[in-house]
Amino acid sequence: MRITARRGAGIGVLVLWLALVRTLGEIYRLHAVRGASFVLADALPYVNGAMMAVVGAGVAVGCYIWHCDRLAVAVVAATILLMLGYKVAVLGW
């Protein structure tokens, strides 16, 4: 079975949505682990990562709506690479 560009773009948008949910979930996990010592500065790197996912997903959905499916796949790939680079640079591996 061959995955078309349209199907790949839809899967990519879903992957970015899941990345967003997981990134925001990390804030709740961090709050549960740190408890009373949790401060906003602890969550800001995760909020920045979530913003990257939101912007990437928004652009990818726009490309998907306008039938620029290959561009949507490229946006998804670039967003995921950007988020991984940000994670390594800011949060460590």
Structure tokens at 16: 């970015």
Kindly report the pTM of this predicted structure. Answer: 0.89
pLDDT of 93 higher than 90 = no
The domain ranges of the chain are 5-91
Alpha-carbon distances, residue 18 vs 21, 25, 27, 36, 87 (angstroms) = 5, 10, 15, 28, 16
Q: Provide the pLDDT for residue 91.
A: 83
The b/e string for 58-76 (b: 16+ C-beta within 10 A; e otherwise) is ebbbebbeeebbebbbebb
Structure tokens at 84: 């991984």
Q: What percent of the chain has pLDDT over 70?
A: 100
Instruction: Identify whether the C-beta of residue 79 lies closer than 8 Å to the C-beta of residue 53.
Output: yes
Where residue 59 falls among pLDDT bands split at 50, 70, 90?
very high
Mean pLDDT of 13-41: 95
